[in-house]
Amino acid sequence: MATIPGIWRWMRVPRLIWQFTESNVPTFVLPNSSFGILAALAAPRLTDRPDALSVAELLLQALPRVMLFNWANVFVFDLANQRLPEARREDETNKPWRPLPSKLISAEEMRRWMLVAIPAAVAISAVLGVGHQSALILLTTWAYNDLRGGDEIIRDVIIALGYWLYLSSSLLIAVGPGHHLSEHGYRWLGMMSGIILTTMQVQDLKDQPGDRTRGRRTVPLVLGETFSRWWIAGCVLVWSIACPLVWRCRLAGYVLPMGGGLWVGFHVLQGTNDAAAWRWWCLWQGLVYLTPWMAGR
């Protein structure tokens, strides 16, 4: 018969799993899943699927699968990212509520969790038709964490590649098995990677104390905070114009991305709440994702 401590140990597992991924659900899982669903609205432009999916199909059938893929692979990344000693020191400054710094789990237990989580994520991805992409995501996870690529100035390149894999997989899952990206789809994903490469530094603004503690070489720490703020704000505005321009949207197609971009730029330059600027940036991404569907509108 199971003892009370043994039962409690198993009961805490769902809570721990949620705490590992909690901060990345609204800022990574949901935006990436949104890309898959919104891009699927323009499936004939971005893939070889000749017909567009209905909103009901996307919400009821595609969305749960897309979110499962994103969450499963993000869970592996978070385990890998949070278990290393330097990550723990960073989290003690930036995110002390996480399981490891709050002593809810040990690094050794996290290593064992990864032995289960990695094959599970690959298996889930393979069933959803994107097993190869999941394997490549694991490579970027390894390069970012274990090889400490996330501590170098090239971290944004690794992140941009990772986003390309997540976003392309989300779209392919949403449109269904047997379909492939079109030429326009590859170009659009290239632009999304460009957005990540040039503006993702917005998340580094809020993490500077912890990043400085572990010696991480982020753009704000290497090139300076003032330069970073103006760079991010300028690039956000450029992409807000370029994306609807590429899709030849009418005036209405410029309003949402440009309005969101100006709002993000304002918060970044103001510099009083970088956590809020990061959240507004994530929302702006969703507005940009709409532009293929608004082509010609």
For residue 11, the model assigns a pLDDT of: 60
The whole-number pLDDT of residue 49 equals 93
Question: Can you tell me the distance from the alpha carbon of 240 to that of 233, in angstroms, rounded to the nearest whole number?
Answer: 11
pLDDT computed for residue 165 by the predictor: 97
Distances in Å between the Cα of 37 and the Cα atoms of 60, 166, 296 are: 11, 13, 20
Helices (H), 200-273: 202-206, 208-213, 219-223, 225-246, 251-270
SS3 call for 79 = helix
pTM: 0.90
Which stretches in the chain have pLDDT values below 70?
1-11, 296-297
Residue 297 has what pLDDT?
Answer: 59
Q: What is the pLDDT of residue 295?
A: 82
Q: How far apart are CA 104 and CA 14, in angstroms?
A: 12
As a whole number of angstroms, the distance between CA 19 and CA 75 comes to 10
Question: In the CATH scheme, what is the code of domain 8-182?
Answer: 1.10.357.140
Instruction: Give the pLDDT of residue 144.
Output: 92
Residue among 23, 3, 39 nearest 99 (CA): 23
Count CB-CB contacts under 10 A for residue 15.
11
